[in-house]
Amino acid sequence: MAFQRPDIYRPPSEHDCYFLPLTRGCSNNSCTFCGACGSKLQIRDADDVKKEIDAVSLYLKAGVRIPNIPPIAYMIANEWNGKKVFLQDGDALVYPFPKLKDVLEHLNEKLPQVERVSCYATPQDILRRSPEELRELKDLKLSIFYTGLESGDDDVLSAVAKGVDSRQMVEAGRKAIDAGITLSLTVLLGLGGVEGSKEHVLETARVLSEIDPQFAGALTLTLIEGTPLYKQWKQGTFHPISPFQSLEELRLMIEHSNFTNCFFSSMHASNYLSVRGRLPQDKAKMLKQLDQVLAKKDPSSLRPEFLRGL
Ligand code: SF4
């Protein structure tokens, strides 16, 4: 089956990248809350990836378009400042290591102005790579991994079929950081449901603290039609928390996290309130902001449901 270019799904901070697909979908397609659950992973041919790099390089240098290159490549190149590249898709680090190295070497040769490359990486992907391989990738400018921690609670991780436990999460996170790669972790408010809320938050704070990433972002669970978790909700076996309970979870998570120097935010469009700051120094300020909203519980202080995004 011919490789199908994936839609652009990216972390908010990577809006100004060139989006280069290596894969489509996610190898760990089991997470019960995720729209990629059940999807099939597609691996793009490395020669095809290199042809696209050649085409972008030539287009930027001489304005020449090569036939058989998808028009979207030129559309992205037109908007691009040349500095950052994001490797698509859901876990591009699954791309076979020799091919990944080959593609990155080619990228560095043809587009030397690129300052850094980033991708989504599952904990499984990171654990599969040796420390030396991770350092080689870092030297080839693949220097930021975006990884979904989701929860630090083993019961929640198991219930949502994340495929790793909290110990493996910590091992993967530390391994990336020790290789010099910047780590940005996301956690999902509400993933433990009503019954598992407190344990989910406290264990997530514990695991976040043990990994001690440079960036951590809280997202709020959105139940996506067609996913196993959506079905559990409809069957009455999963009980979602309310919007204000998600802010209580956020507050408790910030309170119980101990970071060395982490930019923590809830700026993602799925959240009901944006809070951000550098931890630990901004902890009191962030808790105060949440306390003020939680004291009034005024629905108009929350992002309306129709403006929430995935
Ligand atoms: S690893 Fe990430 S992209 Fe893959 S199914 Fe789980 S949540 Fe979705």
Task: Calculate the average pLDDT of the chain.
Answer: 96
Reported as a single tens digit per residue, the pLDDT across 186-212 is 999 999 999 999 999 999 999 999 999
Dig out the tokens for 208 from the structure: 């976040």
Reported as a single tens digit per residue, the pLDDT across 13-48 is 999 999 999 999 998 889 999 988 788 899 999 999
For the chain, the distance separating the N- and C-terminal CA atoms, rounded to the nearest angstrom, is 29
Atom in ligand 1 nearest the alpha carbon of residue 39: 5
Dig out the tokens for 130 from the structure: 């040796």
Is this prediction's pTM over 0.75? yes
Separation of 114 CA from ligand 1 center, angstroms?
Answer: 27
What residue ranges line ligand 1, CB within 6 angstroms?
Answer: 26, 28-29, 31, 34, 36-37, 90, 122, 148
**DSSP of 201-240:** HHHHHHHHHHH--SEEEEEE--PPTTSHHHHHHHHTS--P
Separation of 310 CA from ligand 1 center, angstroms?
Answer: 13
Closest residue by Cα to atom 6, ligand 1, is 31
Beta bridge partners of 182: 144
Predicted confidence at residue 120, as pLDDT, reads 96
Predicted confidence at residue 305, as pLDDT, reads 87
